[in-house]
C-alpha cells in the first residue's frame, strides 16, 4: 500500500473549471439583468394634497420636482414638504431595488443576507 495521495484527474479538474466558469458567467448575466431593472425603476412620490411631486431616476437621483401653482402661494411650507418627499422617494427607491434583487437572488446566501440588512416591509 502506498501513502502517496492520488493525483487528480486533469480531465475532471478541467470539467470542474469549465462548470465554475459557466456558473460565474450565469451569475454575471443575472447581475446585469438585475442592474438593468433597477436602473429602469423610476420612483415618483406625491404630497398628501397632490400639489408637489418628486421623481427619482433609476439611479436614485432626483429627476424632477413638480410644484403646482397653488402650492407656490404657500411658500413657507414648500421646503419641508420637498425634503420629506425626497426622503420618501429615496426609501421607496431602496425598497424597489431590494425587491428586484430578491427576485434575482432568490434562495441564495445573498438573498438571505439581503433579508437581514433590508427586511421586506409589510405593505
* Cα–Cα distance measured from residue 39 to residue 43, given in angstroms and rounded to the nearest whole number: 11
Does residue 4 lie in a domain region?
no
- pLDDT on residue 7: 83
Mean pLDDT of 65-90: 89
Range of the structural domain that residue 27 is part of: 10-117
Look at the chain and report how many structural domains it folds into.
Answer: 1
Q: Residue 46 burial by CB count (10 A; 0-12/13-18/19+): exposed, middle or buried?
A: middle
* Cα–Cα distance measured from residue 76 to residue 72, given in angstroms and rounded to the nearest whole number: 9
* Cα–Cα distance measured from residue 121 to residue 2, given in angstroms and rounded to the nearest whole number: 61
Which CATH number goes with the domain that contains 28? Answer: 3.30.1310.10
- Per residue in 40-76, pLDDT (tens digit) is 889 999 999 999 999 999 889 999 999 999 888 876 7
- Distance, C-alpha 65 to centroid of its chain: 22
Query: pTM of the full predicted structure?
Result: 0.66
- pLDDT on residue 120: 56
Reported confidence tier of residue 77, pLDDT bands at 50, 70, 90: confident
pLDDT over 70 at 112, yes or no: no
Amino acid at each position: 500500500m502506498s501513502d502517496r495521495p492520488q493525483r487528480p484527474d486533469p480531465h475532471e479538474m478541467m470539467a470542474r473549471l469549465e462548470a465554475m466558469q459557466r456558473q460565474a458567467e450565469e451569475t454575471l448575466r443575472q447581475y446585469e439583468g438585475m442592474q438593468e431593472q433597477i436602473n429602469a425603476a423610476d420612483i415618483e412620490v406625491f404630497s398628501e394634497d397632490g400639489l408637489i411631486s418628486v421623481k427619482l431616476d433609476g439611479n436614485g437621483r432626483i429627476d424632477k420636482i413638480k410644484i403646482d401653482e397653488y402650492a407656490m402661494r404657500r411658500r413657507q411650507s414648500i421646503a419641508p414638504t420637498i425634503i420629506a418627499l425626497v426622503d420618501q422617494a429615496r426609501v421607496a427607491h431602496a425598497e424597489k431595488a431590494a425587491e428586484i434583487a430578491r427576485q434575482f437572488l432568490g434562495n441564495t446566501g445573498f438573498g438571505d443576507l439581503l433579508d437581514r440588512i433590508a427586511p421586506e416591509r409589510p405593505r
